[in-house]
Chains A and B, each alone.
Chain A
């Protein structure tokens, strides 16, 4: 069943049950009230009649007669019965005569009043003590109101329920259609967007409502999809280019060498070239493999306590080995007093690799100008800032720097494959950290790495 129909039906059922409950309670309470009221009326008649018939007061009798005639109109099938109460009399015969249950008389004798209903005829009995002695007065009459008015009320309510449910059904369907119109519109629009037309977006007119949010979410998702598609395309073209360059060199070198017989030195020379190109190829594929491995979220890495300041000194000594001309300075001026705030949860080898990549990039693209590595800690995160004064990254290319094999247009003179930064970002992401790169061309680049604090206590 469609959600639209479901909502319409639920809406309708809620309305219908409310109407039913209301009608039923109106009917029930009216009936009850009319019964109590009628018994009361019979009781009054009983008292008036008893005084008139039994007490034989000349003066009062005419007055009471008048009251009866003027104010108490004769009810349909009104009948009065008087029974004198005598000790030991059980009223069984009277009960049989009026076909009333015996319990009626016993209640009447015990409490002084009793009521009974037999079809349309209602009975009220009272105990009357007058001058002539104690009597039981029983008045019976047909309840015209209950038979006719209540039936009329019932009919009105039934017809009302039918009409109201027809209206409710109509409103429910209109309402649910109204609710789902924007959703249907979105569905129609999203259907138009395929992998060939990823640039299309939903027009988001509404801003603050849920549907507007849905549209924005869709658009954001499309943004990401489009970027992912582009990245994929870029990756393939860059990767094939990077891999094919050394291969072309190897093949060309081999072909030229094989074209005729050479001297031994020439063979050695060409084999050396081939070897160095093959090594380069191996390096690229290895780093590519590593990138793929760190990109997978599924593979669980062993995380342990890592002290960030220690890590940075290790990174510096590694860089010193690789590139003795570097000018890396570790700036501890904002290092927190408590070492507790420097401990993060992570995999030391991976973090070492990521930071080495970032710092060596900073050295490489600034021709070994000074690079500052600063460290600081807020209450819940450790911040590492790596600043160089190198060539920088052009603004337009800043969004591509995390694409594997991407190299900015101004770094052609430097050696590299464009894998270091994506790798570093993968590693930082594995540690639920954040990598932020800001750059100005020819001014330098600042990389800010943030890791959540590990909450290790001292000792």
Chain B
């Protein structure tokens, strides 16, 4: 069975360090799933007509997308598939369902980095930590003061 790795994201370049780590340590082609916590909208219009792709495109930004593409091109032979999923559940069992639905086999989480959430987004890290899949923690050196912070260039330098 192919390994499918779940990685939390807040659509910042820095959070892609997990992706980089997963790809660097992969031996065989991986499926990579980025997950972002987003509460369901209250609006009936959104519930009826807004697709998951719409909500992702609202949250993401061109630099983040380019950074994903750079990583996918870099590790083209090690990444079998790559997608971004939205988790909207509240309970741990909902998250368990999410894991089963996406056939996740492994979870990577950051050791010190905290996801930046705003608006209707929420932090998915507690769900990931509590899951039965025993998440692996990854540590990297944060760059706080560099001029390229939150720019596409950040992906090259961490």
| Chain A residues in the interface with B (C-beta under 8 A) | 331, 333-338, 341, 372, 374, 376-379, 381, 383, 385, 387, 392, 436, 438-440, 443-446, 448
Contact = CB atoms under 8 A, between A and B. Distances in A.
B115 to A, nearest CB: 23
Given A331-B156, A446-B157, 14 more contacts: A334-B74, A337-B74, A372-B157, A377-B69, A378-B70, A379-B73, A385-B148, A385-B152, A438-B151, A440-B147, A443-B145, A443-B146, A445-B147, A446-B151
A365 to B, nearest CB: 13
Nearest to A446: B148
A448 B152 CA distance: 8
A387 B147 CA distance: 9
A440 B74 contact: no
Contacts of B155: 334, 376
Given A443-B147, A446-B147, A446-B151, A334 B66 contact: no
B73 A444 contact: no
Can you list the 4 inter-chain pairs with the closest CB atoms, starting with the nearest? A336-B73, A374-B156, A378-B69, A446-B148
A387 B157 contact: yes
Contact of B74 (A376, A381, A438, A448): A376
A337 B146 CA distance: 28
Contacts of B70: 334, 336, 376-378, 383
A171 to B, nearest CB: 37
B134 interface: no
Contact of A440 (B146, B152, B153): B146
Interface of B: 65-66, 69-71, 73-77, 145-148, 151-153, 155-157
B148 A336 contact: no
Contacts of B74: 333-337, 376
11 contacts: A334-B156, A338-B73, A338-B76, A376-B73, A376-B74, A378-B65, A383-B70, A383-B152, A392-B147, A438-B151, A443-B146
Nearest to A377: B73
A448 B62 CA distance: 15
A62 B152 CA distance: 108
B76 A446 contact: no
A376 B147 contact: no
B70 to A, nearest CB: 4
Contacts of A439: 147
Nearest to A439: B147
Nearest to A392: B147
Contacts of A387: 148, 153, 156-157
A457 to B, nearest CB: 16
Contacts of A372: 156-157
Contact of B147 (A338, A383, A438): A438
A409 B152 CA distance: 28
Contact of A385 (B65, B76, B77, B153): B153
A444 B147 contact: yes
Given A334-B70, A334-B74, A376-B73, A436 B151 contact: yes
A448 B75 contact: no
B151 A448 contact: yes
Contacts of B152: 383, 385, 448
A381 B66 contact: yes
B158 to A, nearest CB: 10
Contacts of A331: 156
Nearest to A340: B73
Nearest to B146: A443
A377 to B, nearest CB: 5
A385 B73 contact: no
B157 A374 contact: yes
Pick from B145, B152, B156 the residue with the most CB of A within 10 Å.
Answer: B156
Nearest to A441: B147
B153 A337 contact: no
B47 to A, nearest CB: 26
Contacts of A336: 70, 73-74, 76
B153 A448 contact: yes
B148 to A, nearest CB: 4
Residue from B73, B155, B157 whose CB has the most chain A CB atoms within 10 Å: B73
Contacts of B76: 336-338
Nearest to B78: A337
Contact of B73 (A337, A438, A443, A448): A337
Given A377-B70, A446-B146, A438 B153 contact: yes
Contacts of B148: 385, 387, 438, 446, 448
A385 B157 contact: yes
A138 to B, nearest CB: 72
